[in-house]
Amino acid sequence: MDAISVIRTKRDRGRLGDAQIDWVIDAYTRGEVADEQMSALAMAILLNGMEREEIARWTAAMIHSGERMDFSTLPRPTADKHSTGGVGDKITLPLAPLVAACGAAVPQLSGRGLGHTGGTLDKLESVPGWRALLSNDEMMDVLRSVGAVICAAGDGLAPADKKLYALRDVTGTVEAIPLIASSIMSKKIAEGTGSLILDVKVGSGAFMKNLGDARELASTMVGLGTDHGVRTVALLTDMSTPLGLTAGNALEVRESVEVLAGGGPADVVELTLALAREMLTAAGLPDADPARALADGSAMDHWRRMIAAQGGDPDAPLPTARERHTVTAPASGALTKLDAYAVGVAAWRLGAGRARKEDPVQAGAGVELHAKPGDRVTAGAPLLTLHTDTPERFDYALEALTGDAIGIAGDAEGAAFAPTPLILDRIA
């Protein structure tokens, strides 16, 4: 078998056979299939799609490319959560210690930023000393002592996906539903969690721009999880506006700590609690009260212990960018639009994300929001603050925020404006 014949099959809208899928995943993992060949196949999949049976086989092949973890020796039920990626989506940071404070174990394997969306590991690496790379034994030790761990997937866990994940980011193939579903579910199934809650983002700042595509992705992933014995539920959530008031790395960590301290933006708190309740129910702990764990400080305690267990200093000052630029409101009225994609691209261009898989990110770079849709703004008042260490990036970032990225309506129209609900649907 050879890579060119596999590429041609999908290029010509054919169905990849089981043997073709098994071979190409194994050969790519071993380096026999080159990056440029897998890029061509990924683009063909993006353009021509995959049938349900192809996605299932592709996922199984990626699982079988490495090891599978086993958490059966833990004294707690396990629950995990995965987001398909958004702007300002720092939910994992407060969520993992919150669910642990309520009695479940959270083995949260997270990733780096993809395109305009932020990466949980990039955010947490802004905490001085914190380590994303843990051995399986270290991961189990943190789960036993704290109840929650956020770390990178080890090299032995779905190594085929690790290679493909980075490649998709720089070849314009991130949005392919079959590749998103198989990427997420291969890692989560191989991880060995007993239950999984999916946060499938919908809107301009998400990879799924419309509700129909999001439902298709969610249903595909729920089916894959259920078929492999993992209790799986998906929430479809709005990503037309950034979550919270920050998009970046250290900026989002700071906001997450505010949530754990009992404050923070209302939308971040709402989604954190909704996902926590789903995780606890799926783990067999439906009577646990995550709101109480936020209020009584136990979630914050678990956060501090989790950070320290991974080498971080929870008391150390977070990095800040050397340069700032303020974007002011162009008119007075009600803010009706603050486009998530535009804000994400601006944060990416400021240095919070990467253009190539080997690029570093700036810990302090990003965008700070001073208003959300539904708020009243005054002409000339601060609307956004841009943060970066490299001020030559400001003009490029500002280009992303022009056009219809920001909408302001007069009093009559603004009074009738209603923001989109945060939680759009639930699929089980």
And the tokens for 192?
């060995």
Residues 6 or more apart from 177 whose CB is under 8 A from it? Answer: 49, 208, 213, 216, 217, 220
CA distance 179 to 49: 9
Domain 80-309 has CATH 3.40.1030.10: yes
CA distance 141 to 59: 29
- The predicted pLDDT at position 294 comes to 97
Fold of 323-415: Aldehyde Oxidoreductase; domain 3 (3.90.1170)
Contact 99, 106 (CB under 8 A): yes
Closest by alpha carbon to 120, among 108, 107, 137?
108
The pTM for the full model equals 0.90
| Residues classed as catalytic | 82, 161, 168, 183, 187
3-state secondary structure string, 144-173?
HHCCEEEEECCCCCCHHHHHHHHHHHCCCC
Parts of the chain belonging to CATH 3.90.1170.30: 323-415
Residue with tokens 């990879």: 207
Helices marked H in 170-297: 177-191, 211-227, 250-260, 266-282, 290-295
And the tokens for 280?
């606890």
- The predicted pLDDT at position 374 comes to 92
Bridge partners, 231 (sequence order): 195
- The predicted pLDDT at position 117 comes to 83
Residue with tokens 């340069």: 323
CA distance 20 to 17: 5
**Order of strands across the sheet that contains 406-409:** 376-377, 333-338, 406-409
Handedness of CA 80, 273, 85, 309 (dihedral sign): negative
Parts of the chain belonging to CATH 3.40.1030.10: 80-309
Contact 391, 316 (CB under 8 A): no
| Number of neighbouring beta carbons within 10 Å of residue 320 | 14
pLDDT in tens, the chain (428 residues): 899 999 999 999 999 999 999 999 999 999 999 999 999 999 999 999 999 899 999 999 999 999 989 999 999 999 999 998 899 999 999 999 999 999 999 999 888 886 788 899 999 999 999 999 999 899 999 999 999 999 988 778 889 988 998 898 789 898 888 998 999 899 899 989 999 999 999 999 998 899 999 999 999 999 999 888 899 999 999 999 999 999 999 999 999 999 999 999 999 999 999 999 999 999 999 999 999 999 999 999 999 999 999 999 999 999 999 999 999 999 999 999 999 999 999 999 999 998 776 788 999 999 999 999 999 999 999 999 999 999 999 999 999 999 999 999 987 677 778 889 999 999 99
Contact 406, 338 (CB under 8 A): yes
Q: What is the DSSP letter of 114?
A: B
Which H or E run includes 109? strand 106-110
CA distances from 72 to 77, 193, 331, 333 (A): 8, 9, 58, 56
